[in-house]
Amino acid sequence: MFTGIVSGQGIIHKIKNNVDYASITIKAPVGFSKNLKRGASVAVNGVCLTAKKGATDLLEFDVITETLEKTNFKLLSKGNKVNLERSMKANTEIGGHLVSGHVDGIATITSITANARATEYWLTTDENLMKYIPYKGSVCIDGISLTVNAVEGNKFKLTIVPHTSEQTTIAHFKVGTQVNLEVDQIARYLERLIKGAEQPTGSDISMSLLAKAGFIK
């Protein structure tokens, strides 16, 4: 589990394509890998990966074919920068929102406009994902927790302040850039809860029971 608060930017050091997976080596910023153990989870551009080695500035990961196909990893090449985040601890301050590291799809930058000191980015994505992206809701873009400032059809807008651009790969985004998108988990759980309640099951939980208990109004 992660928070969407990027810890640092890594640089793709090597990519080796194998039959049904790829091995990716990333040069991490100084201090990022301190006390990192083999098998630990690391978010790379918002994708949860397992470290093959611990306490080294050259992080190694194996990425399966499904992950390559569903994320922007297939577009990465040597020298590209990626956002990195260590997995959260129980006493971690959640400065962003709860992020699983399981990417839901790809979003594409369609426009970039300056607005005072901030920059506005419009993105498009699959219509099936837009129902999980409400105005003022949270999304995770390439591992960055961000707030949605407008929604129109299959498009949504993000307003980025200078600090976020400086600390992440957003500064390198251009029109046409494809980014990893993870929608808010709470929206998915609510949908599952409501759909499940609409269908007869052996469970004693129902929408009326949840309302009576004060969970919904």
Q: What is the pLDDT of residues 46-94, one digit of tens each?
A: 999 999 998 899 999 999 999 999 999 999 999 999 999 999 988 888 8
On the question of a common fold for 8-86 and 105-186, the answer reads: yes
> Averaged over 6-21, what is the pLDDT?
96
Beta bridge partners of 24: 15, 61
> What DSSP element (H or E) covers 42?
strand 41-44
pLDDT single digits (tens) 134-146: 999 999 999 999 9
Q: Any residues with CB less than 8 A from the CB of 50 and at least 6 apart, and which?
A: 39, 40, 41, 42, 61, 62
> What DSSP element (H or E) covers 67?
helix 65-70
> Among 76, 1, 92, which residue's Cα sits nearest to residue 46?
1
Q: Who wins on pLDDT, 188 or 60?
A: 60
Give the separation between CA 20 and CA 35, rounded to whole angstroms: 31
How high is the mean pLDDT of the chain? Answer: 92
Residue boundaries of the structural domains of the chain: 8-86, 105-186, 187-217
pLDDT at 215 over 70: no
What is the three-class DSSP state of 172?
Answer: helix
pLDDT at 207 over 90: no
124 residue type, one letter: T
Strand ranges of the sheet holding 47-50, from the earlier edge strand across to the other edge: 47-50, 41-44, 81-86, 8-17, 21-27, 58-64
pLDDT single digits (tens) 23-54: 999 999 999 999 999 999 999 999 999 999 98
Give the separation between CA 163 and CA 198, rounded to whole angstroms: 45
| Fold topology of 8-86 | Elongation Factor Tu (Ef-tu); domain 3 (2.40.30)
The domain at 105-186 falls in which architecture? Beta Barrel (2.40)
pLDDT at res. 198: 59
DSSP label at 80?
A: -
